[in-house]
């Protein structure tokens, strides 16, 4: 699906993407503010920059296990999106990919994601729970800034990922961090992770 293919189609309510599609181009559905749901078929590997930017009525999206890249602003401002699972095939969540998705309540990040870029989930003020896969090594600045409802962070990584002093900016100090069994001491000693007042071990 080419760049800007349906850009600004504000009356579009549904779309069926056929098998055989491999790429959803930049701004393909940008500004489709009446689009309520979309299923991305197996075979799609790339969701381009701003592909669903501003799809403010989008409540659900299925991301298949073939997707490897979710680019900048891909779902920026999808303010009605309530949950998302990022499959194990994805290795990087790019800049502002889900920023402003204020209705998101839960996010599960797959075990192949290694890097979560700046502002990836910035302003997801309804987010209460996030699960971070076991391969993440770095979470950049303000990735979860303004996630003011976040109460549970599950991080599966045995080695604490590198984070910076504002990765979880404006997240409540009462949020609980859950880490793999035997890893509590490592997280409690790690720069920035130690700011979580409550760290609990759990089996993943």
Q: Measured between alpha carbons, how far is 67 from 79 in angstroms, rounded to an integer?
A: 22
pLDDT tens-digit profile of 106-123? Answer: 999 999 999 999 999 999
In degrees, rounded to 5, the angle at the alpha carbon of residue 93 between the alpha carbons of residues 90 and 96 is 155
3-state secondary structure of 148: coil
pLDDT tens-digit profile of 118-138? Answer: 999 999 999 999 999 999 999
Is-above-0.75 flag for pTM? Answer: yes
Give the position of tokens 């729970």: 129
- Residue 101 confidence class, pLDDT cut points 50, 70, 90: very high
- Residue 172 confidence class, pLDDT cut points 50, 70, 90: confident
CB 46 within 8 A of CB 67: yes
């Amino acid at each position: 699906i080419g760049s800007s293919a349906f850009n600004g189609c504000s009356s579009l309510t549904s779309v069926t993407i056929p098998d055989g599609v491999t790429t959803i181009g930049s701004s393909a559905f940008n500004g489709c503010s009446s689009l309520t749901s979309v299923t991305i078929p197996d075979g799609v590997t790339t969701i381009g920059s701003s592909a669903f930017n501003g799809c403010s009525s989008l409540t659900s999206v299925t991301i298949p296990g073939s997707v490897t890249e979710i680019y900048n602003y891909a779902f920026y401002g999808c303010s009605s999106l309530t949950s998302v699972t990022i499959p194990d095939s994805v290795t990087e969540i790019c800049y502002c990919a889900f920023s402003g998705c204020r209705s998101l309540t839960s996010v599960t990040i797959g075990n192949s994601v290694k890097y979560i870029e700046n502002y990836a989930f910035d302003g997801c003020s309804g987010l209460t729970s996030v699960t971070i896969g076991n391969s993440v090594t770095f979470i950049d600045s303000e990735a979860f800034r303004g996630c003011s409802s976040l109460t549970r962070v599950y991080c599966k990584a045995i080695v604490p990922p590198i984070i910076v002093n504002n990765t979880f900016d404006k997240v409540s100090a009462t949020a609980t961090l859950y880490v793999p069994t035997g890893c509590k001491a490592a997280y409690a000693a790690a720069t920035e992770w130690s700011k979580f007042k409550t760290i609990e071990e759990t089996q993943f």
